[in-house]
Amino acid sequence: MNVNEVVKFVDKIVFDKTGKHLDDIQIAVVQGTWERQTYDDIAQECNVTKNHVGDVGAELWQLLSKAFDEDIKKNNFRSTFERLQITSSQFINIQSSHNFKFCSYPTQNNNNSQENHIHHKLSYHDLTLASKIINFYNRETELKTLSNWILNQKTPLISVLGLSGIGKTTLVKRFVDLNLQQFEVIIWRSLKFPKSLNLLIDDLLNVCKQETKEVIDDKLKQLFDIFKDKKCLIILDNLENIFIHRQYAGQYKPEHQDYQTFLQMITGIEHQSSIILISQEKCQEMISLDSELYPSHCLELSGLGDAATEILKNQRLQDEEVWLNLIKLYEGHPRYLQYISILIKEVFQGEVAEFLKENNLILTEDIKSMFYLTWMRLSEVEKQMLLEVSQTKQPLSRDEIKKLLSPSSTDVINGIQSLNRRFLLTKSETNEKLFNLSPVLKAYLKIIS
Ligand SMILES: Nc1ncnc2c1ncn2[C@@H]1O[C@H](COP(=O)(O)OP(=O)(O)O)[C@@H](O)[C@H]1O
Ligand SMILES: [Mg+2]
């Protein structure tokens, strides 16, 4: 926002509240305060007394404080307005909208008075590190599920889970983009380079312009006060990075053990906010032990289905009549299909039918790298189990898996649970007692065995 936009913005608010536009002195007060001038300087420029400028200012700050439900004064006017999530383009929308709204985001449902109240309150939205979404296909059911859990049921802890590249980040970002106006605080953080819980909480409190206390207990109290007072949505992406490698899924690294307590607090304490965890691994805290006492939900993503044809269309591939075969082969997994499309363009002149004639599930180096990263996270039992199970064509029962392996029965059972929590070993669609590996994973295991 530049100074002219600020003046126009304040003028719009004042006009909405009083029916009158800003006069010359009021404009000078807004401009001067924005430029960090003293009342003395402003008074000299306008040729009026300092007291008069002070009175005009006091009246303005009172009006703005009421409009935003926040204490606005000369010494915090600029910092407060800089906090507003208003870009020039959004400002144009505000100007042209009939009723004043604090933010003009895309809305799904705008006729609720509580929502309108949120528009007028100051929002702390920090989506700097969230990916930009240009194309978004399918996932209507998943979006509805998220809306129901978060907006209707007000579930405090939601986990969006699935294989790397399946579309977790994209889905959650789309949900956030569609529902920005529903939350006073939205903060997106990635734990790709995980930081201590202490630093994460400092970071969250900073975004909410809170001076952080010294001790972690006090900081948590500050944070939960905000969760109670404001409707917040916090997204923690790439959560799997706080889990330890070469052990069963969802075990916290020693230095990140306190995240476990934090996640337990989110479901155990009453507040009005939601946290979305995005992860390739499920951990115990995501699974509700008692749905009334500790409300939480998991959304496990599978492929995009037929809608993945849009990905192939985007890559301008040929032979549309066989696209569904390609999608089926790669299980509608958007990232695999993106990599394969590039390969087809580069080596098969974009001819999908030619590629399919290879009659072989081909893995590009990029797909192999994705699997390698997952492989490196597995415990020895899980690795052994995958290699053995990949040798068989049919889905296997728990007892059949046990027979294939030498580790103890407990290890095998824990291994099955862990592979299931990583979405690598899945239950057969036709028989819940049988376990399956995806053909793409089998192709990878064949390469490395
Ligand atoms: N619903 C979707 N519509 C269009 N593209 C998608 C969709 N879901 C995922 N993608 C594409 O697939 C790729 C991987 O998605 P991403 O959300 O990063 O996966 P994840 O977070 O599960 O690792 C991205 O390039 C994204 O553009
Ligand atoms: Mg992601």
Q: Among 25-34, 197-206, 285-294, 410-419, name the one with the lowest average pLDDT.
A: 285-294
Question: Which of the listed ranges 11-15, 296-300, 407-411 does the model predict with the highest average pLDDT?
Answer: 296-300
As given in the structure block, the two tokens for residue 228 are 């109670």
Question: Which of the listed ranges 63-77, 336-350, 403-417 does the model predict with the highest average pLDDT?
Answer: 336-350
Report whether pLDDT(211) > 70: yes
Half-sphere exposure of 421 (CA within 13 A, CB side): 25
Q: Which ligand is nearest to the CA of 241?
A: 2
Share of the chain above pLDDT 90, in %: 68
CA distances from 301 to 66, 143, 160, 332, 337 (A): 44, 12, 7, 11, 16
Report whether pLDDT(251) > 50: yes
Collapsing DSSP to helix, strand or coil, 256 comes out as helix
Report whether pLDDT(107) > 70: no
Quickly state the pLDDT bin for 109 (edges 50, 70, 90): very low
Q: What is the pLDDT of residue 104?
A: 33
Q: Which ligand is nearest to the CA of 335?
A: 1
Contacts of 418 (CB under 8 A, 6+ apart): 248, 249, 250, 379, 382
Q: How far apart are CA 85 and CA 409, in angstroms?
A: 56
Q: To which residue do tokens 């965890």 refer?
A: 277
Pocket of ligand 1 (CB under 6 A): 135-139, 162, 164-170, 304, 334-335, 338
pLDDT tens-digit series, residues 45-59: 888 888 899 999 999
Q: What is the pLDDT of residue 84?
A: 61
Report whether pLDDT(122) > 70: no
Q: Identify which has the larger pLDDT, 42 or 271.
A: 271
> Ligand 1: which of 133, 170, 336 to mutate, judged by most atoms within 8 Å of the beta carbon?
170
Q: What is the pLDDT of residue 111?
A: 41
Q: How far is the CA of 167 from the centre of ligand 2 (A)?
A: 7
Question: For ligand 1, atom 13, which residue shows the shortest CA distance?
Answer: 335
Cβ atoms of residues 441 and 424 within 8 Å:
yes
Contacts of 328 (CB under 8 A, 6+ apart): none
Cβ atoms of residues 25 and 53 within 8 Å:
yes
> Ligand 1: which of 161, 241, 335, 422 to mutate, judged by most atoms within 8 Å of the beta carbon?
335
Question: For ligand 1, atom 25, which residue shows the shortest CA distance?
Answer: 335
Report whether pLDDT(219) > 50: yes
Q: DSSP label at 151?
A: I
Q: What is the pLDDT of residue 116?
A: 42
Strands 296-300 and 157-161: parallel
Q: Identify which has the larger pLDDT, 312 or 109.
A: 312
User: Per this entry, what is the length of the chain?
Assistant: 449
Q: How far apart are CA 236 and CA 228, in angstroms?
A: 19
Collapsing DSSP to helix, strand or coil, 95 comes out as helix
Q: How far apart are CA 105 and CA 233, in angstroms?
A: 16
pTM beyond cutoff 0.85: no
Q: How far apart are CA 441 and CA 74, in angstroms?
A: 62
Q: Chain-wide mean pLDDT for the chain?
A: 89
Q: What is the pLDDT of residue 16?
A: 79
Question: For ligand 1, atom 8, which residue shows the shortest CA distance?
Answer: 167
Region 116-144 average pLDDT:
81
Q: Which ligand is nearest to the CA of 301?
A: 1
How would you classify residue 305: left for phi > 0, otherwise alpha for psi between -120 and 50, otherwise beta? left
Nearest to 15 by CA among 99, 121, 77, 90: 99
Give residues whose Cβ lies within 5 Å of ion ligand 2. 169
Report CA Rg, the chain: 27
Question: For ligand 1, atom 23, which residue shows the shortest CA distance?
Answer: 165
- For the chain, the distance separating the N- and C-terminal CA atoms, rounded to the nearest angstrom, is 58
Region 210-226 average pLDDT:
95
CA distances from 87 to 101, 186, 419 (A): 14, 17, 45
Report whether pLDDT(94) > 50: no
User: What is 120-300's CATH superfamily?
Assistant: P-loop containing nucleotide triphosphate hydrolases (3.40.50.300)
Neighbour-count burial for 410-448, b at 16+ CB within 10 Å, e otherwise: ebbebbbebbebbbbbbeeeeeeebbbbbebbbbbbeee
Q: Which ligand is nearest to the CA of 168?
A: 1
CA distances from 154 to 74, 105, 147, 173 (A): 37, 21, 9, 18
Strands 434-437 and 425-427: antiparallel
pLDDT tens-digit series, residues 170-197: 999 999 999 998 999 999 999 999 999 9
For domain 370-448, give the CATH number.
1.10.10.10
Domain ranges across the chain: 3-96, 120-300, 305-362, 370-448
Collapsing DSSP to helix, strand or coil, 421 comes out as helix
